[in-house]
Structure 1
Amino acid sequence: MSALLRTLRCRCGSVLCEAEGAPILTAVCYCADCQAGGRRLEALTGAGDVLESDGGASYLTYRDDRFRVIRGAEVLQGHKLRDTAPTQRFVATCCNSAIYLKFRPGHWVSLFRNRFDDADLPAIEMRTNIRHRAADTPLPGDAPAYRRFPPRLFFRLIRARLEMALGR
């Protein structure tokens, strides 16, 4: 495992998290749930931006075993769009900062890119679900864009699960 540690925190600093090693993936998602969830979190009192200017949610996705909350777990609160939704977005209630998204039963956590301290984050590798993108601005050309979730994304998640099972 890489010694690289990236830290992320809420806006007021009460919540501190670490992500170890390289992310599984860096992506911007435009699916309807990510956009609706982002808007809902941005509507919280005093919340900062969650979505990018074009409506996408930008994430660094890490394996569960490479992410941990160092400080402030007691102020993290999960938000679901629907009671039965497999996705829960966690917010630091101290300052209403969106911290991460957890998909159940997945083995990964997607951390909101704008919460990282590191200014030298890995480049965006893909933009997914652009069919739901509502912005009328040109799509950034910084990464491949896909109308849906591409097979490449699922391959990365499967590989990460296998590496976890093998203890790598």
Structure 2
Amino acid sequence: MTQTHRLGCACGQVQLQVEGAPIVSVECCCDSCRAAGDRLQTLPTARPVMEPHGTTRFVLYRKDRVRFIEHAGRLKEFRLTPESKTRRVVATCCNTPVFLEFENGHWLSLYGCLWPEGTLPPLEMRTMTGDLPAGTTLPGEVPNGKWQQVSFFARLLGAWIRMGFRSPKVAVVNGQLHV
């Protein structure tokens, strides 16, 4: 029997379900995630998405294992620039970041703040630590890759193979959010 988890925004209106195990559970340290996190945290009633070290917590799932089940019409996309290949999607009812999506990607990077207390999958690695400001010290309990590690790409490739090299579209987003 496949395990499922129900996740939701801070106010509980937007609900989604994830099926099975995640691809990987990470903290991203890239400039884009830090810039987006800083901007998203300024929205009214927004919860913090940045970790104490300036990282952003994500749990990556195959797109075919994520289902939006309640109030998906409240999702809007935010892009750092109009040319950005990534979009961050926010539940506008309470300004909770829900996921990051790479253009043509086969996975969604779900924000760690969606998991109820004590249920967030354990951190497995940090990526893009080379983008952190000089002098930033990170704990050493997981690998701290200067860029994305080979194991990170291997997991993404493995998930894509299991999906039959498909990249489903996420069509639940309803407009743009300007931050």
Q: Shorter-chain TM-score: which interval? A: over 0.9
Q: Match for residue 98 of structure 2? A: 99
- Scaled by the length of structure 1, what TM-score is found? 0.92
Corresponding residue for residue 158 of structure 2: 159
Percent identity for Structure 1 against Structure 2:
38
- Paired amino acid for 1:9: G
Alignment of 1:1-168 (within 5 A): 3-117=2-116, 119-134=118-133, 138-165=137-164
Please give the alpha-carbon distance, in whole angstroms, between the structure 2 residues aligned to 1:141 and 1:7.
Answer: 31
- Structure 1 unaligned segments of length 5 or more: list them: none
| Letter of the 1:116 counterpart | W
Number of residue-to-residue matches in the alignment: 166
In the alignment, the residues of structure 2 paired with residue 17 and residue 118 of structure 1 have an alpha-carbon distance, to the nearest angstrom, of: 16
CA distance in 2, matches of 1:34, 1:5: 27
State the SS of the aligned residue for 2:163.
Answer: helix
Check conservation: 1:30, 1:55, Cα contact below 8 A.
Answer: yes
Runs of 4+ in 1 over 4 A off after TM superposition: none
CA RMSD of aligned residues (A): 1.7
Query: How far, CA to CA, are the matches of 1:23 and 1:132 in structure 2?
Result: 25
1:67-103 deviations in Å (ceiling 9; x for gaps): 1111111100100001111111111111111111111
Structure 2 alignment gaps of length 5 or more: 167-179
Contact 1:27 1:59 in 2 (8 A): yes
